[in-house]
Amino acid sequence: MLVVQFTLTVFVSATLLFLVQPMYARMVQPLLGGSPAVWNTCMVFFQAALLVGYVYAHVTTTWLGVRRQALVHLIVLLFPFLVLPIGLSRITAPPTTNDPVLWLLTVLVISVGLPFFVVSTSAPLMQKWFAHMGHRDSRDPYFLYVASNLGSMLALLGYPTLVEPYLRLSDQSRVWMLGYGVLTLLMGGCALRLFLAPVASGEETFFPAGSANAVELPPPTWKLRGRWVLLSLVPSSLLVGVTTYLTTEIGAVPLLWVMPLAVYLLTFVIVFARRPIPSHELMVRVQPFLVMPMAILTLMDRQIAWGWVQFAPPLLAFLGAAMVCHGELARKRPAPAHLTEFYLWMSLGGVVGGAFNSLLAPVLFTSVVEFPLAVVAACLLRPNRAGEESWTSKQRFRDVALPLMMFVLMAIWFTIQKRMETNAPLVLLGGVFVVGVVAILSYSFQARPVRFGLAMGAILLVPLLGMRGRTTILHAERSFFGIHRVERTEDGRHHQLVHGNTIHGVQALDPAHRREPLVYYHRHSPIGELFASDAAKSWRRIGVVGLGTGTLACYSQPQQEWTYFEIDPAVERLASDPRFFTYLRDSAAPVRIVLGDARLTVAEARECEFDLLVLDAFSSDAIPAHLLTREAIQLYLHKLADRGTMAFHITNRHLELSPVLARLSVDAGLTAYVGTYVPTEDDKDLFPAGSKWVVMSRDGDSLAMLADDSLWTRLDPDPAIPVWTDDFSNLFQVLKWFH
């Protein structure tokens, strides 16, 4: 019964801890444009708060002793009731010109800091208390850590599937407060059992999993503590990197926040189990097979065309690294006497890893260097399986020389390749040969961590140095909202703006064609035909959410007024810089740019201000979900003229969003059409790209001209697709699994 009581308490505390993370990020995300960086910044805060909780657990149990500490903690448990339920009350609007990271961290401290801190102390304290209960399982209390991570994982997976679809955010907050009350009672019961238990001793004695014999472990050395930090730092960094990749390419929604974090926690559940399955030794052998596909695909510069499959390589690399690093942590865990210190150093590594990705890397790097660096670090932290001969000076020289030779081979090949036709048979044959040699050599190094890690580093360094690809990078910068690159195309006749992996606009350098709209916006595209329609002749005030390069300004007329709403100051600087793009400068109509999240800035516009409102906001290839909800549509309609039109750009590699807009149009009583363009040979001079647009209007007659256009079809709703709201969205239903 004692084990059940403590296990249940740890499970409930972990569930609360990891329910509040997506819940609060979901609350604050719309204030910052749905940026993927919102979740990453929240992760850094939660990791830091977890560290503070572990410091509290370690210091108070060390200074006060377990029983007096339990008495103090019962008082501390009451403080969060002063600030519950959790919400966004009294929160000021985020800054529009400065990096909002400091603002977001301040909001997190004020709104959720105290409850999260108190709950975060539960796991180490419960294990420490249990180690003093004199129970036969107290000799190895780490099994409670498995219950903690299992509760965390189930909470994360349950949030997007069981909580978010059925409870509004305000209801979620009240349920969380009720759960905290239950936790308070459970911890009070555990404290009572501790006070009544006999005094236990022998905490230096440790019974490893699967062993009936006690092991006397010496106190941890500083070298071991440093190892704990590194082994927790690398998976934490990879976690943030993988999450950024997924949310940038698909969408910044709780489902994609929690999946990588659930995998991360699952690795803890496995490695700290009494009989880990799979074993640590097996995962060390398997890890190269999980890391190498990502490295090889990066080297080949190929995107897999099967939708979700392209996300498998980075996720597998993350899984392999986390299993091996956390497996090493489990092998090197100390006796129960040093349990709280062990968790403190682990937490410190997690904070440093997350902060490096979320706070430091955007300042230091203009590309995503941190993810490959963490992959290389994970390979370097592998246990050495080469034996004593690996430590000779000759072998150490080879550990560096052989990966260096690999890098030189790849550098020579890509230099030659850039001078040849892309699809020439010799290029394809040579590429297969080079990749094959690199793959075989890399795998042969897997028994030696340094050699294997440097080999992976050599492969991943190729794209970072710009050896791949045929465009020339003119400018690169990184902001809270993503990575932006201005590139000169291979033909030298165009500039393009790339956000993440997606082109956000192209302009011809030839002055004669400089005002010609290209890519998704050219005159034969759905949006081009909309501007050429009779309805467009009456448009006077036009609003555009999402600036990009400002390509749509090509359609401006002298009698019009154009307003762009853009959340990222970096995009405004690049679009306004005539060295790169001149669409805004060349506009026939005056152009005004309003910085800030669209939901907030459009709300400040006058009623019935716009004859046309274009929604063209992307983060790489992801469209912020909070711009496609019932509440958002009502806001747009409030700012739209009676006969006005809304146009939504929904071109996307991973999501089919037309069913979502179909349901929203019916819900709002609007007429909607969807226009789809497929590039043709006749449009090759327009730098064409496939595009899809949806238009809506209160007045169906204003869109009647589209009924006879081959690009446009009437948009009918699918009853199986629910209406998206600020409290609900379902990406799974609209995900393109294969394309």
**Between 664 and 62, the higher pLDDT residue:** 664
Buried residues in 275-299 as b, exposed as e (16+ CB within 10 A): ebeeebeebbebbbebbbebbbbbb
How does residue 482 score in pLDDT terms, banded at 50, 70 and 90?
Answer: confident
* pLDDT exceeds 60 at position 305: no
> pLDDT at position 214, please?
47
Q: How many CB atoms are located within 10 Å of the residue 668 CB?
A: 17
Least confident span in 146-155, 261-270, 439-448, 710-719: 146-155
In this structure, is residue 470 part of a structural domain? no
- 19: its two tokens: 């329910």
How many domains does the structure of the chain reveal? 3
268 and 364 inside one domain:
yes
557 and 673 inside one domain:
yes
> pLDDT at position 585, please?
94
How does residue 611 score in pLDDT terms, banded at 50, 70 and 90?
Answer: very high
Average of pLDDT values for 155-168?
Answer: 79
459 and 495 inside one domain:
no
pLDDT over 90 percentage in the chain: 22
In this structure, is residue 228 part of a structural domain? yes
348 and 393 inside one domain:
no
- Residues 353-387 pLDDT 10s: 888 888 788 778 777 788 888 888 999 988 887 66
Q: Whole-angstrom Cα distance, residue 456 to residue 458?
A: 5
Residue 629 and residue 729 in contact, taking contact as beta carbons nearer than 8 Å = yes
395 and 376 inside one domain:
no
Average of pLDDT values for 21-50?
Answer: 79
305 and 437 inside one domain:
no
How does residue 213 score in pLDDT terms, banded at 50, 70 and 90?
Answer: very low
287 and 420 inside one domain:
no
Cα–Cα distance list, 338 to 101, 140, 334 (Å)? 35, 12, 6
**Domain coverage including residue 317:** 2-205+221-380
- Among 317, 345, 380, the domain-final residue is 380
Q: Which of 634, 627, 613 is nearest to 729 (CA)?
A: 627
- Among 464, 492, 526, the domain-final residue is 464
Q: Which of 503, 549, 527 is nearest to 677 (CA)?
A: 527
- Residues 406-437 pLDDT 10s: 888 887 777 777 666 555 566 667 667 777 78
pLDDT over 70 percentage in the chain: 85
Least confident span in 134-148, 186-200, 219-233, 504-518: 134-148
**Could you tell me where the beta strands, DSSP code E, fall in 467-567?**
472-479, 482-488, 494-499, 502-508, 541-545, 561-566
* pLDDT exceeds 80 at position 176: yes
> pLDDT at position 97, please?
58
399 and 328 inside one domain:
no
Q: Whole-angstrom Cα distance, residue 235 to residue 402?
A: 27
Question: 436 CB contacts (<8 Å, ≥6 apart)?
Answer: none
List the Cα angle 723/730/354 in 5-degree steps.
Answer: 135
719 and 596 inside one domain:
yes
For residue 433, give the 3-state DSSP assignment. helix
- Residues 546-555 pLDDT 10s: 999 999 999 9
In this structure, is residue 110 part of a structural domain? yes
Q: Which of 690, 604, 602 is nearest to 646 (CA)?
A: 602
- Residues 183-206 pLDDT 10s: 999 999 988 888 887 765 545 444
Domain at 700, CATH number? 3.40.50.150
List the Cα angle 48/52/56 in 5-degree steps.
Answer: 165
Strands 502-508 and 494-499: antiparallel
- Among 408, 433, 464, the domain-final residue is 464
Mean pLDDT of the chain: 82
**Between 417 and 78, the higher pLDDT residue:** 78
**Could you tell me where the beta strands, DSSP code E, fall in 450-560?**
472-479, 482-488, 494-499, 502-508, 541-545
333 and 456 inside one domain:
no
Domain at 325, CATH number? 1.20.1250.20
In this structure, is residue 107 part of a structural domain? yes
- Residues 83-113 pLDDT 10s: 888 887 666 666 655 667 788 888 888 888 8
> pLDDT at position 207, please?
46
Q: The whole model's pTM is what? A: 0.74
In this structure, is residue 41 part of a structural domain? yes
In this structure, is residue 471 part of a structural domain? no
442 and 411 inside one domain:
yes
Alpha-helix residue ranges (DSSP H) falling in 337-392: 339-355, 361-364, 370-380
Average of pLDDT values for 558-565?
Answer: 93
Residue 151 and residue 19 in contact, taking contact as beta carbons nearer than 8 Å = no
In this structure, is residue 476 part of a structural domain? no
State the amino acid at position 574 in one-letter form: L
In this structure, is residue 474 part of a structural domain? no
158 and 174 inside one domain:
yes
* pLDDT exceeds 90 at position 80: yes
